[in-house]
Amino acid sequence: MFSNFSNVKKKTLAQILSFLVVILIYPRLVAAGFLEFSKPIINVKVGEQFTIDVNIDAESDQVLSTDVRVIYDPKLLQIVDIKAGNYFPSAPKLDFSQSGKIYIAALVENPGDYQSGAGTVATITVKALANGTGTLTFVCEDRQTAQDSNIAKNDLNATDVIACSQNGDSDIKIGSGSTGTGSGTSGSSSTTRTSSPSSLPKSGIVDDFFKVAIPGIFLLAIGVGIRLLL
């Protein structure tokens, strides 16, 4: 009888651990889409202009909108123009008014609409200002929806499904390529948020729930497992 009881405890503990694994990897499973520049490496001369596309890949998801935030070194690069791409029908924000920062907001126009697959969100025209090596860098942090790049899924909560690790930045060598200051004056994913349009869907509600709930669930399951083993 004691042997059977011990087996039951082991089975229950195994089920708890399996549940924990699913909960802990859930945010990674949710994230699917990503952003990338059309040219990962660029070589130009001082004074030259070039264009580069901001592309989105929703992978298997249907998506409603994207916030694209990019930082760069304004001593090396100057943003000349940004034009909307053909992936989303509306791009109410194509903002490069802040030195070293770009903000692009694009979205579907009508309720019930969505986009899928891959395409171009915007095309950026850039001018090389000085010799150096810099980067156009996507500001992105998983499960963060306020200060970084996002891709809103077509679901009830417009869940942010961007997978930051899959984003593709662009390295730019200008002239001799002497040392520049990297990806921008901020040097991190912390940027000042430009006001987004009121029609841009709110995202990240589900992710915020899991961010708060997972530690509590994890500790509770550990406590239950210990009691079963005693």
- pLDDT at residue 121 in the model: 99
Contact 136, 168 (CB under 8 A): no
Please report the pLDDT score of residue 18 as a whole number: 58
Taking the C-alpha atoms of residue 160 and residue 157, their distance in angstroms, rounded to an integer, is: 9
In this structure, are residues 115 and 63 in contact, taking their beta carbons and an 8 Å threshold? yes
CA angle 125, 138, 21 (to 5 degrees): 155
pLDDT at residue 142 is higher than 70: yes
Where residue 189 falls (left for φ over 0; alpha for ψ -120 to 50; beta otherwise) is alpha
Cβ atoms 120, 85 nearer than 8 A: yes
Average pLDDT of the residues in 73-94: 98
Whether the per-residue pLDDT at 183 is higher than 90: the answer is no
Least trusted range by pLDDT, from 69-78, 165-174, 200-209, 215-224: 200-209
**pLDDT above 90 for 126:** yes
Q: What's this model's pTM, rounded to 2 decimal places?
A: 0.67
pLDDT tens per residue, range 13-42: 566 665 555 444 444 445 579 999 999 999
Q: Report, as an integer, the average pLDDT of 74-94.
A: 98
Interval 165-182 mean pLDDT: 83
- Tokens in use for 7? 């087996």
Tokens of 190: 């912390």
